[in-house]
Chains A and B, each alone.
Chain A
Amino acid sequence: MNTILLFAALTMSIYLCRFMGFTLKIPQASSFWTRFLHYIPIAIFAALVVSALYKDPNFLSSKLIAFAAAALVIGRTKHFGLSIVVGLCVLWLLMLTGI
C-alpha cells in the first residue's frame, strides 16, 4: 500500500466532511431548521462530555463535583478561563484528599 496515496485520500475524505457542512444549503426561511441548528451545539457539547466520562470513568464523583464548581463559577462570573481553572483545582484537591 502506498502510504502517501493513503494519506492523500484520508486528507481529502476528512476535508470533505468538514467542508460539506459549510456548503450545504438549509432553507433560511424555515423556522424548524433555524431551531434545529440552534440546538446542535447543546446536543454535541452534552455528547462530548458524556463520551469523555464514559470512556474514562475514573474519579467520576470527583469529576462531577469539579463540574459543579465550574458551573457555579461560569454562572456567577461568566469567566470562561476562571471556571476551567477552578474546575481543575477542585479535581486536583479532591484527588489529593483521596475523594
Chain B
Amino acid sequence: MFRLDAHLFKQGFTAVLPLWLASAPVAFAYAIAAREAGWDVSQIQLLSLTLYSASAQISTVQLLTSGTSAITIIITAVVLNLHHLLYGLSLARHMKLSRLQRATAAYFLTDGAYGITIDKNPTFSFLLGAEISLFIAWNLFTALGVLLGHLIVISSSAQLNFVAPLTFFVLLISSLKTRTDVTVALISAVIAVLCLSMQLGSLTILIVGITGAFIGARLESQRQPTPLAVNL
C-alpha cells in the first residue's frame, strides 16, 4: 500500500468542493437520460463507479439507445477522454509515483482534480483527496438522479453551468506567471475557437493541449521568460 499525508488529502478533498456544484446537473442529466433509455438502477450506478467519465457515460447512453455498434461506442469514449493522457504526463513530471500510486491516481483522474492539483499542490496525497472528493460527488449525484429523477426538473441555471468554466478560468489566471504564459494562453484560446468552429468537438482539448504546449516550448526556447510586470 502507499502512505498518505492526511492533511494534504483533506486539502485536496476540500479544494474541489466548488466543483461538486458543477457535477450535480451533469450527473442528474446522465441518470435521467439512462433511465429514460430503459437502463436499470444497477447499470446506471455501475457505469458511474467504473467508467467515471461524464462525457463518455452520456455518449454511451445516447449511442446505445440509437443502436450504434460497440466498437463505435468505445472509440467515441476514448476520443472524448484522450486528453487525460496529457494530464498524466503533466502530473508525472511533478510527482515520483509508485506503480500502485499511478494505477490509483489514473483510475480517479478527471479534469477538475487535475486542474486544482497542478495549480495548488502537485502531490499524490492532494491529488487523491481531490479525486476521491469528485468521485463521491459524481456517484452521489448519479444515485440522487436515479432515485429522484422523476421529481427533478433539470434547471438550465446559468450559474450552475458556469461553475466549471469559472473554476478553470481562475486556475488559468493563477498559473500565468510570465509573458510567455499569457501568450500561450491567448494562442491556445484562438486555436480552441478554430477547432470548435471546425466541429472537432472533444478533440479540441487534446489538440489545443499539444499545440499550445508545443508553441509555448518553442517560444520559450527563443527568448528568456519575462515575469509579468503587473500583478492582476
Contacts and interface: CB of A to CB of B under 8 A. Distances in A.
A10 B213 contact: no
Q: How large is the interface on A (under 10, 10 to 19, 20 to 34, 35 or more residues)?
A: 35 or more
Contacts of B84: 14, 17-18, 21
B102 A41 contact: no
Contact of A63 (B111, B162, B216): B162
A81 B60 CA distance: 34
B47 A46 contact: no
Contacts of A21: 84-92, 106
Contacts of B191: 47
Interface in B59-109: 60, 64, 70, 73-74, 77-78, 81-93, 97, 102-103, 105-107, 109
B15 interface: yes
B172 interface: yes
A16 B52 CA distance: 13
B155 interface: no
Contacts of A3: 43, 64
A3 B162 CA distance: 34
A54 B103 CA distance: 34
A35 B220 CA distance: 8
Interface of B: 15, 18, 43, 46-47, 50-53, 56, 60, 64, 70, 73-74, 77-78, 81-93, 97, 102-103, 105-107, 109, 111, 114-115, 118-120, 158-159, 161-176, 181, 184-186, 188-189, 191-193, 196, 204-205, 208-217, 220-221, 231-232
